[in-house]
Structure 1
Amino acid sequence: MSQRTLQHIIPSHPSSDGDGVKIRRVAMFDLPATDPFLMLDELSSDNPDDYIGGFPPHPHRGMETLTYLRHGSLEHRDHLGNRGLITSGGAQWMSAGRGIIHSEMPALDMQLLHGFQLWINLPAKDKMSAPKYRDVPAAEIPQLEFPQAQVQVIAGAWNINGQSSEGPLMDLAADAGYLDIHLQAGASLTLTTPAEQRVIALVYKGQLNTSPQAPEKSLLVFGQGDELKLQAVNDAGLILLRGTPIREKVVHYGPFVMNSTEEIQQAIADYNSGRFGRD
């Protein structure tokens, strides 16, 4: 086994999106080391003023989103007639393909929102495919228990401390996998990972034992290898991602992710003309 080591530390930054929703964002559109992942947002607040405006209707093309909530609820609606509600511990997957217009709105009586939205790139051959959508309630997400550690297996097949598990989402672009990991101080986990895949982690709480030491709320980019060891300095929470690099040009404009400027211009024209998302 060859160990993965820490290669890059990318800080997250306060930002806002939708109707004034406060977030922390890591943008990765121009970072080959994080391919196929494009962006990861953390939404975390106990003040409804920070999130109550939600994300009113807006378009996407050429990418996938995976939204995972630790606390709170969000309702999805789109122009294809899909509608679903995810609550604490649940996830929501959407492959925009050739185009979808959707909204994500929080419950009005909610007092805490904590979740994450990941953007995954689609390869050129799939960017104009039909849109797809799926809700995954918390009851469908396996939770693994280890000494001083818990893992929610949200997407992909994993081997953790010699134990195999699969998440309910197995068809993400780039064969992506997604875990929510909680480690008590001093606890450790060892994961076997496909050597050809990228592995990154957003540490949203506490710190891991890394060299150099990464501050909380940072994205950690690990190098090549087929084994990753995680150890917590203090009580820690992290989103761990793996995916196969697509290695294609990324051209990004707002909610559109394509391979050329001409394709971006076509996406804008399709949206403005009302043709967006049609066959």
Structure 2
Amino acid sequence: MNRKLTQVLRAQPSTDGAGVAIQRVAGFEQRGMDPILMIDELRSEHREDFAAGFPPHPHRGMQTLTYMKHGGIIHEDSQGNRGEIRGGGAQYMSAGRGIIHSEMPTQDTLGLHGFQLWFNLPAAEKMQAPRYRDLPLGELTQGAGPGFTVTAISGEWNVSGMQSMVGPLQELAAQAALADFNLDAAAELTLETGSGESVMAYVYNGSVDADAVNHSRRQLLLFGEGEQLTLKGGSTGAGLLVLRGRPIGEKVVHYGPFVMNTEAEIEQAIRDYQSGQFAA
């Protein structure tokens, strides 16, 4: 059965960090997005829109994945990790019980286009040790089918017209998977999806046809149950992120950079951060 479109969410203009201009889709309580919590798109040719970056700030109880299409980002954190990625690379971080990190544009970055995605952690994993990993473009899995190309970052992908692909990042919780597709005009692809998975697609370039309706940039498409998903490039083609994951199904309570299951756990996270335990 092919998945049908159930809802369309439009990214909203916002700012984060030290005033970085972003487009945001927040899904903390959004049915159909679990385990994905949030999708931010960072896109500007003007350095003043992002130069101040994301100075040191804390996280607990969730994972982040930063994927850069264009420009460079430097990550540093309280665990002593430092990594730099440029166009096409990704950075993964699991905050676990607590970490402080920063993400700053490289000095030679004049234009920036990328994404940061937040993934939930199940309650049993929220207090595990933090983890970090760089994934430069050369480590990502790339392929092509009839009228489209794909970069698999995480998870297994079975797409019509090509062999199965597996992204190198297997650390995301809830079997979350992410791939970047580029479709030619009117090109169609069908991918296999697991029963019970949340499945969605964020359009960042051009437009895509889903259920015979055209959807343009900065729209997140949420799909219902089914074993397959079919997407078709619009008149100028399409660039889109496709995300899948097993719903965790637990209560989500969040306060800024903390994502837990109860208000008491949020209050404890604030106390722990203020007492300096995140830097340990």
Mapping for residues 152-191 of structure 1, pairs under 5 Å: 152-161=151-160, 163-191=163-191
Secondary structure of residue in 2 paired with 1:53: coil
Secondary structure of residue in 1 paired with 2:239: strand
CA displacement, residues 8-58 of structure 1 (integer Å, 9 cap, x when unaligned): 000001111001110000000111221111000000011000011010000
Instruction: Name the structure 2 match of 1:7.
Output: 6
Mapping for residues 192-203 of structure 1, pairs under 5 Å: 192-203=192-203
What is the rounded CA distance, in whole Å, between the counterparts of 1:257 and 1:76 in structure 2?
21
Instruction: Name the structure 2 match of 1:215.
Output: 216
* Amino acid across the alignment from 1:156: G
Structure 1 position 131 matched with structure 2 position 130: yes
Secondary structure of residue in 2 paired with 1:80: coil
What is the rounded CA distance, in whole Å, between the counterparts of 1:96 and 1:217 in structure 2?
27
What is the rounded CA distance, in whole Å, between the counterparts of 1:142 and 1:109 in structure 2?
27
Structure 1 position 264 matched with structure 2 position 259: no
Contact 2:205 2:217 in 1 (8 A): yes
Contact 2:47 2:109 in 1 (8 A): yes
Contiguous gaps of at least 5 residues in structure 1: none
What is the rounded CA distance, in whole Å, between the counterparts of 1:77 and 1:171 in structure 2?
19
CA displacement, residues 222-279 of structure 1 (integer Å, 9 cap, x when unaligned): 101110111111211000000000000000100000000000000000001112265x
Secondary structure of residue in 2 paired with 1:9: strand
Instruction: Name the structure 2 match of 1:247.
Output: 249
Contact 2:78 2:278 in 1 (8 A): no
TM-score, normalised relative to structure 2? 0.97
Structure 1 position 37 matched with structure 2 position 36: yes
TM-score, normalised relative to structure 1? 0.97
Contact 1:205 1:216 in 2 (8 A): yes
Secondary structure of residue in 2 paired with 1:139: helix
Contact 1:177 1:243 in 2 (8 A): yes
What is the rounded CA distance, in whole Å, between the counterparts of 1:245 and 1:93 in structure 2?
20
Secondary structure of residue in 2 paired with 1:268: helix
* Amino acid across the alignment from 1:230: L
Structure 1 position 62 matched with structure 2 position 57: no
Contact 1:185 1:232 in 2 (8 A): yes
What is the rounded CA distance, in whole Å, between the counterparts of 2:278 and 2:168 in structure 1?
30
Q: Of 260, 275, 278, which residue of structure 2 is paired with 1:276? A: 278
Contact 1:62 1:258 in 2 (8 A): yes
What is the rounded CA distance, in whole Å, between the counterparts of 1:215 and 1:205 in structure 2?
8
Instruction: Name the structure 2 match of 1:92.
Output: 91
CA displacement, residues 128-162 of structure 1 (integer Å, 9 cap, x when unaligned): 00000000010011111112211001111110115
Instruction: Name the structure 1 match of 2:23.
Output: 24
Secondary structure of residue in 2 paired with 1:262: helix
Contact 2:252 2:262 in 1 (8 A): yes
